[in-house]
Amino acid sequence: MKKFRKKIENLVLESIKNNKTYSTNFLTLEEQTHINDKLIYIPYILDGGYSNPELKRLIVSYNNEFVKNVSCFEIKTMDNNFTLTHQNILGSLIALGISKESIGDIIPSDNVFFIKTELDDLIITEFRKIGSTIISINKVDGSNYERIINYQDFTVITKSLRLDLVVSKIIKKSREQSKELIENDLVKVNHKSITNNTKQVKNNDIISIRKHGRFIVKDDSLRTKKDNIVLTIGKFV
């Protein structure tokens, strides 16, 4: 993250120096959590092309003249039996020489994807196939699309809301194994790395565990007869 923070600092300095608007590639949720302290004195927006994106571009503008530069394209296939997926759309875009960081959210259920506006010409002229399936592309207004988040709910019982205990219950491993994951920087809470085993989790916290998935704490209000905590957890699917 040190390199990322330095990049943000340089972006701010360039905007101030040249009185221009500058944009980044699409930022992950973790990267988005690290920008606020670097942008106290300069206007900025985070834009992913629609109302609730996960991936967003950072746009800084010392002169407050923001130009949103995220495009949305709709895919139409000639084969009614072909199913668009996040994986085959992303893979086909990368096969065109486009970096993953230049690609925003992909919503296969709506047959759309978001991408840097600077790549519009490339998409229009070169994006003709997904695998061996012929497609057509239309640029559309993406502002009305919505990312639907699905969860697979389950419950765990824990003595406390300590992070190491909660992680242990979620992944069904020993407390020592969960501590090792946390101490090795393999667990994030609300997209920030946490190495403190005793951190208390709370409702709506998002816990990301490397190689196990992303989870949200939905409810911690229930108790057993022995006063243990019954947690309702949602796994992102």
Q: Which domain, by its residues, includes 190?
A: 151-236
Instruction: Tell me what pLDDT residue 62 has.
Output: 75
Both 44 and 84 in one domain: the answer is no
Identify which of 233, 237, 214 has the alpha carbon closest to the alpha carbon of residue 222.
233
CA-CA distances (angstroms) from residue 214 to 155, 164, 187? 15, 15, 10
Exposed, middle or buried: residue 172 (CB in 10 Å: 0-12, 13-18, 19+)? exposed
Residue owning tokens 């600077």? 118
DSSP structure class, residue 214? E
Q: For the chain, what is the mean pLDDT?
A: 91
Answer yes or no: is pLDDT of 37 > 70.
Answer: no
End-of-domain residue from the set 16, 33, 61: 61
Structural domain count of the chain: 3
Query: Is 74 found in the same domain as 53?
Result: no
Residue 145 domain-assigned (yes or no): no
CA distance 116 to 106: 13
- Domain assignment present for 225: yes
**3 state DSSP class of 77:** strand
Residues β-bridged to residue 176: none
Burial annotation 217-232 (CB, 10 A radius, 16+ → b, else e): beebeeeeeeeebebb
The span from the CA of 77 to the CA of 63, in Å, is 43
Phi and psi torsions of 123, nearest 5°: -65, -45
- Of the three residues 140, 167, 200, the one that is the final residue of a domain is 140
Query: Predicted confidence band at 2 (pLDDT cuts at 50, 70, 90)?
Result: low
Identify the domain boundary among 41, 61, 81: 61
Evaluate whether 64 touches 44 at the Cβ level (below 8 Å).
no
Q: Residue 96 in 3-state DSSP? A: coil
Question: Quick one: pLDDT at residue 36?
Answer: 63
38-97 tens-digit pLDDT: 666 678 889 999 988 999 999 888 777 777 899 999 999 988 889 999 999 999 999 999
pTM higher than the cut 0.75:
yes
Q: Out of 5-9, 53-57, 82-86, 218-222, which region has the weakest mean confidence (pLDDT)?
A: 5-9
- Confirm whether 146 is domain-assigned: no
Residue 97 lies in a domain: yes
Residues 90 and 136 reside in one and the same domain: yes
pLDDT for the residue numbered 8? 74
pLDDT of residue 50: 95
